[in-house]
Amino acid sequence: MEKNFRPDELETKIYDNWVRQGYFHATVNKSKQPFTIIMPPPNITARLHIGHAFTCTLQDTIIRYKRMKGYEALLLPGIDHAALATEVKVTEKLRSEGITKESLGREKFLKVMDDWYKEYGGEILSQFRAMGLSCDWDRQAFTMDEPRCRSVHEAFVRLYKKGYIYEGNRITNWCINCKTALSDIEVEYENNDGSIWYIKYFYEGSDSEYITVATTRPETMFGDVAVAVNPDDDRYQDMIGRKLVIPTTDRAIPIIADAYVDKDFGTGMVKITPAHDPNDFEVGARHNMPIISVMNDDGTMNSYAGKYEGMDRLECRKALVEELKQGGYLLKVERHNNNVGHCCRCHTIVEPFVTKQWYVAMKELAKPAIEAVKNGSVKLIPKRFEKLYLSWMENINDWCISRQIWSGHRIPVFKCQDCGANNVDYTDPTTCAKCGSHNLVQDPDSLDTWFSSALWPFSTLGWPDKTEDLKYFYPTNLMVTAYDIIFFWVARMIFSGIEYTGKPPFSEVLMHGLVRDNLGRKMSKSLGNGIDPLEVINKYGTDTLRLSLLTGIAMGQDAKYGQEKIESARNFINKLWNASRFVIENIKTFDYKYEPIKDLELTIADEWILSSLNDTIASVTKSFDKYDLSVVVATLYEFVWNKFCDWYIEIAKTSLHGTQQEKNRVCNVIVYVIDKILKLLHPMIPYVTETIYQELPVHGPSIMVEDYPTYIKSMRYSDSSKIFESMIEVVKSVRNIRANMNVADSMKAPLYVENVAGYDLTSLGDAMMKLCSGKSIQFVSSKIEGSDVISIHSEVMNLYIRSGDMVDKVSEIARLNAELKKIDAELARSNNLLNNPGFVAKAPKNLVDSEKEKVEKFTKLRATVCENLSKLNG
């Protein structure tokens, strides 16, 4: 074996082999319980960034664990066409080549989209492979492939027929750049340092009597239909019903009363512009007001704006304000802070705009989805996201699902050109169901991409067909996703699953945080600050990437990702590699024979490591089942590095210089432990564990289909553990003294070990000497005494070391004094507790007892330290 693990050469080979063996493929297997994770399909807009790698790693780690635990594990991969987002990208790309969407026409444009899908889809899938995902390639899906088109179609038709989908002429968020409607959650609000203009509206027929209206968007005044006051506002009672003239025009509008107006804000008078403000739209509707749109769909002013026709809305604002100023209409301007909506795709300022769109009525659909989370049939992890989910669902607005774009799923509504009826019957779209006409034209719009995403947990399993897959793997077990798409996606999957299949689509949702860059910024495609996971893979390997992503994270909590985590992960993998290499190389040097643990004559050290391994297995399994992967990693890190490598392997080196029998014993134990370690770690770091596993003297065809280690009752050795841990304490004390005294290697300080508790320590003698840094210490077989002998006591052994002239007395006295201080603090603490009657009366007995034991122990220790001190001083 080479000195360092070389992932680059091995990963592809190993991965291909896994695929070839069919390990990733899940089958309908009635004798096993399924565990299903449908992967969130990444947008096909670009290559994957580190955030995707994070989600992928979580999922693959969990699915590998479940597979080893004996489940029929399915990780189903897929990609999302991301209708609008991709169309924006492709349109931009075309524009850079001097081509417009319109000049190509719908059909040709969709061909360009197809090419894009192929290019980026392939790239994303190969990135999945590079990350080592054990996903079932036979079931890979795309939100725009034929089966998924059928699902979407069916879903739309069903909802339509139940009356949940309706066409409405309402005010919607409109992006003047993408020229499409957006759903509420596709609008990002940003704080804007704007202005608020106070404008005089003169009464009709008067040029001196006026009222003042405040607005942040003066250009919309051409669409004003009224000015509203609060019905309870005493100031304005007698004005209601009078008419005002819109400045610079000759159009008159009434003053109306509506409770929407806040008496205490601004002047208490609001101009009502139903076409350009959602609230005004409501007010207008209540009062039967007309809707006057003053803009075109590209954000330029239309003829209602008079001489400003054709001017962009923001330019018009500037010019109009100037005109108002000149005309004496402008009373004052104030700075005003408000939130302005931007298109989440192209970042243009969104205009509220009245258009005809398709909506899903959400009220009824939300009800069972709320219930599912409330009654626990869907669990969100961490739990706090349930509150977030519920508050959104309980206040949900109807979902605008139409987009004025070409890509994506075209709305399956065929409008009869003769009678105007909408035909959604999927089987016969050529004949109008109402009048029999063949003059049908399909709605030109496409569906919001989330409409197809909402079906993902079951469309991927064959729905609406009643497939075996659906029966067996659905409802799925776990959905892993970042918390930022809880509304976009999770909520919609839940209500869709219940609506279409009668069951919630999954029982648990694991919500992780966002991976941020080292400045704490969200990594996003649009910002372009994403780290390419492939770069990390190329430099350090997939295992390092995966392990580094799982280090130091908490579910639902954002994490910064940087070089430190990467290096720490790499170092650990290197450590694991070398510990394994150590034994693998060693068993080649003698006549190694495999023996089961139960046939070996175990030493205290053996029993300690086996016991400790056993505890680790129990703890890891518990954390895994809670999806606390970061804790799993930390637990294994600690065991492998600080227990197995630092102590067991070190002490085993002595046995390796012993008899054939000893060598064979210790190698069998090491191999056994390593085998378990590899299996425990495999879900996180699949490649290095597989590689080492194949080098072990006894191994199966692949570690990924082995059983996950389980806790073994008979492998608890509490006595040995106690002795060995005591020994560790003693060794550390000796090392500490050595380091303090600056003992030269040539000094050979005599050290005597006295057995206190009656345990057999013979097997530890030589090994201990080594661990104490043998060169400067020499073990002696008879007790040593004298004024220069320093003693160290533990529960199972006492140590006596002759300090002689080697002691740096000053620093040793300082060290002992420091220790004395600590001991006194401990004693004070324990005595304090024990003197507290409340503690003694109410605390659990074992705690009280352990405090008593501590007092005893520290009292003894104190005496020793004092004795050593007085010797040094004397």
Partner RNA sequence: GGGGAAUUAACUCAGUUGGUAGAGUGCUUCCGUCACAUGGAAGAAGUCAUAGGUUCGAGUCCUAUAUUCCCUACCA
Using CB under 7 A as the binding rule, the residues of this chain from 209 to 268 that contact RNA are: 213-217, 260-263, 265-268
429 belongs to the binding site for RNA (CB under 7 A)? no
| Least CB distance to RNA at residue 630 (A) | 5
Q: Are strands 187-203 and 210-215 parallel, antiparallel or unpaired?
A: antiparallel
Tokens for 822, please give them.
Answer: 């600590």
368 belongs to the binding site for RNA (CB under 7 A)? no
| Ramachandran area for residue 288 (φ above 0: left; ψ -120 to 50: alpha; else beta) | left
Site for RNA in 516-545 (CB under 7 A): 520
Q: Which is nearer to RNA, 188 or 297 (CB)?
A: 188
Site for RNA in 395-424 (CB under 7 A): none
335 belongs to the binding site for RNA (CB under 7 A)? no
Q: Whole-angstrom distance between the N-terminal and C-terminal Cα of the chain? A: 57
Tokens for 805, please give them.
Answer: 């002239």
Q: Which is nearer to RNA, 89 or 815 (CB)?
A: 815
Radius of gyration of the chain (CA): 37
Largest CA distance in the chain: 120
* Residues 133, 53: Cα–Cα separation, whole Å: 10
Exactly one of 338, 718, 811, 859 binds RNA (CB under 7 A); that residue is 338
- Compose the 461-500 pattern: x for residues touching RNA by CB under 7 A, - for all others: -----------------------x--x-------------
588 belongs to the binding site for RNA (CB under 7 A)? no
Query: What Cα–Cα distance (Å) separates residue 14 from each residue in 115, 518, 694?
Result: 31, 33, 11
Q: Which is nearer to RNA, 520 or 528 (CB)?
A: 520
Window of 106-114, 276-284, 530-538, 682-690 that interacts with RNA by CB under 7 A = 276-284
| Least CB distance to RNA at residue 541 (A) | 10
Is residue 445 within 8 Å of 411, Cβ to Cβ? yes
| Least CB distance to RNA at residue 832 (A) | 9
Tokens for 187, please give them.
Answer: 């609008």
Is residue 611 within 8 Å of 718, Cβ to Cβ? yes
Q: Which is nearer to RNA, 128 or 197 (CB)?
A: 197
Listing DSSP states for 708-760 in one string gives: PP---GGG--HHHHHHHHHHHHHHHHHHHHHHHHT--GGG-EEEEEEE-S---
Residues in the interface with RNA (CB under 7 A) total: 89
571 belongs to the binding site for RNA (CB under 7 A)? yes
Q: Which amino acid would we find at residue 786?
A: G
| Least CB distance to RNA at residue 117 (A) | 28
Q: Which is nearer to RNA, 32 or 829 (CB)?
A: 829
Is residue 53 within 8 Å of 549, Cβ to Cβ? yes
Window of 71-79, 357-365, 401-409, 626-634 that interacts with RNA by CB under 7 A = 626-634
At 217, is the secondary structure helix, strand, or coil?
coil
582 belongs to the binding site for RNA (CB under 7 A)? yes
* Residues 79, 65: Cα–Cα separation, whole Å: 24
| Least CB distance to RNA at residue 590 (A) | 14
646 belongs to the binding site for RNA (CB under 7 A)? yes
Site for RNA in 1-30 (CB under 7 A): 3-4
Exactly one of 422, 740, 831, 864 binds RNA (CB under 7 A); that residue is 740
Is residue 481 within 8 Å of 511, Cβ to Cβ? yes
Exactly one of 631, 671, 680, 799 binds RNA (CB under 7 A); that residue is 631
Window of 23-31, 123-131, 469-477, 636-644 that interacts with RNA by CB under 7 A = 636-644
* Bridge partner list, 295: 301
Is residue 252 within 8 Å of 308, Cβ to Cβ? no
| Least CB distance to RNA at residue 416 (A) | 36
| Least CB distance to RNA at residue 404 (A) | 22
State the residue for tokens 């203009």.
197
Write down the H helix ranges in 303-343: 313-326
Listing DSSP states for 502-545 in one string gives: SS-SEEEEEEE--EE-TTSPBP-TTTT----HHHHHHHH-HHHH
- The packing angle between helices 491-501 and 146-161, to 10°, is 80
Site for RNA in 176-195 (CB under 7 A): 184-185, 188-189
Exactly one of 69, 153, 653, 699 binds RNA (CB under 7 A); that residue is 653
Q: Which is nearer to RNA, 439 or 526 (CB)?
A: 526
Exactly one of 82, 178, 579, 816 binds RNA (CB under 7 A); that residue is 579
Q: Which is nearer to RNA, 254 or 266 (CB)?
A: 266
Site for RNA in 830-859 (CB under 7 A): 833, 836, 838-839, 842-844, 847, 854
Listing DSSP states for 771-827 in one string gives: HTTGGGEEEESS---STTEEEEE-SSEEEEEE-GGG--HHHHHHHHHHHHHHHHHHH
Q: Which is nearer to RNA, 17 or 742 (CB)?
A: 742
* Residues 291, 269: Cα–Cα separation, whole Å: 19
| Least CB distance to RNA at residue 640 (A) | 9
| Least CB distance to RNA at residue 659 (A) | 18
Q: Which amino acid would we find at residue 332?
A: K
| Least CB distance to RNA at residue 480 (A) | 17
Strand residue runs (E) in 405-562? 414-416, 422-423, 440-442, 446-447, 476-482, 506-512, 515-516, 559-560
| Least CB distance to RNA at residue 387 (A) | 6
- Compose the 764-803 pattern: x for residues touching RNA by CB under 7 A, - for all others: ---------x------------------------------
Window of 8-16, 382-390, 403-411, 713-721 that interacts with RNA by CB under 7 A = 382-390
* Bridge partner list, 43: 80
